[in-house]
Amino acid sequence: MTVQEYNRSVEKYADSVYRFIRASLKDEERANDIVQDSYEKLWRHVAEIEYSVVKSWLFAAAYNRMIDIIRKEKRIVSVETYDEMNYISESQYSDLNEILHEALERLPESQRTPVLLRDYEGYSYKEIGEITGLSEAQVKINIYRGRMALKDYIGKIETVL
């Protein structure tokens, strides 16, 4: 890949990678750091990577970095966080976007990531499998389960409105 292609990849894909990571982590600063780390890693391997695969490579690198961060944080469990999880109360909302984001937050990472990649970013099952390291069949299963969990959480749209 040339320097011009690298710069083009920054212009074309940085926002998409950022939105994907931010939607998963709900933290703008960490999302920015992960995108920066991904592009730094791309720069270190710029001679080895073809421009035609740079988009999926970036998403895979960002996803893997995000998973590393999540795993590291899971080892450090705060007592306050644990107490908050026990006292989550159900409340009614009229903002559909807020309801959807709350429902997405409740999904396990194995379902949330494929759903976001498929429904928000428009990736194919094969591309999602390449990014996450899952088989195409497992991607389809996780998306189906994630969508069913969203449907169960949100319920009928009439009850929300």
Contact yes or no for 35/85 (Cβ under 8 A)? no
DSSP string, 16-68: HHHHHHHHHH--HHHHHHHHHHHHHHHHHTTTTS-GGGHHHHHHHHHHHHHHH
Decide which of 25 and 144 is more confident.
144
pTM exceeding the 0.85 threshold for the entire prediction: no
The Cβ of residue 134 has, within 10 Å, a number of other Cβ atoms equal to 18
Could you tell me where the beta strands, DSSP code E, fall in the chain? none
Write down which residue in 12, 43, 77 finishes a domain: 77
Query: Tokens 């389960």 sit at which residue?
Result: 145
Write down which residue in 55, 77, 99 finishes a domain: 77
Write down which residue in 27, 51, 77 finishes a domain: 77
Q: Is residue 58 part of a domain?
A: yes
Distance between CA atoms of 120 and 115, rounded to whole angstroms? 8
CATH number of residue 151's parent domain? 1.10.10.10
Question: Same domain for 5 and 70?
Answer: yes
pLDDT in tens, 46-77: 888 888 888 888 888 888 888 888 788 777 65
The Cβ of residue 97 has, within 10 Å, a number of other Cβ atoms equal to 8
CATH number of residue 30's parent domain? 1.10.1740
pLDDT in tens, 2-30: 888 888 888 888 888 898 888 887 788 88
Specify the 3-state DSSP secondary structure of 96.
Answer: helix
Question: Same domain for 70 and 95?
Answer: no
Domain count, the chain: 2
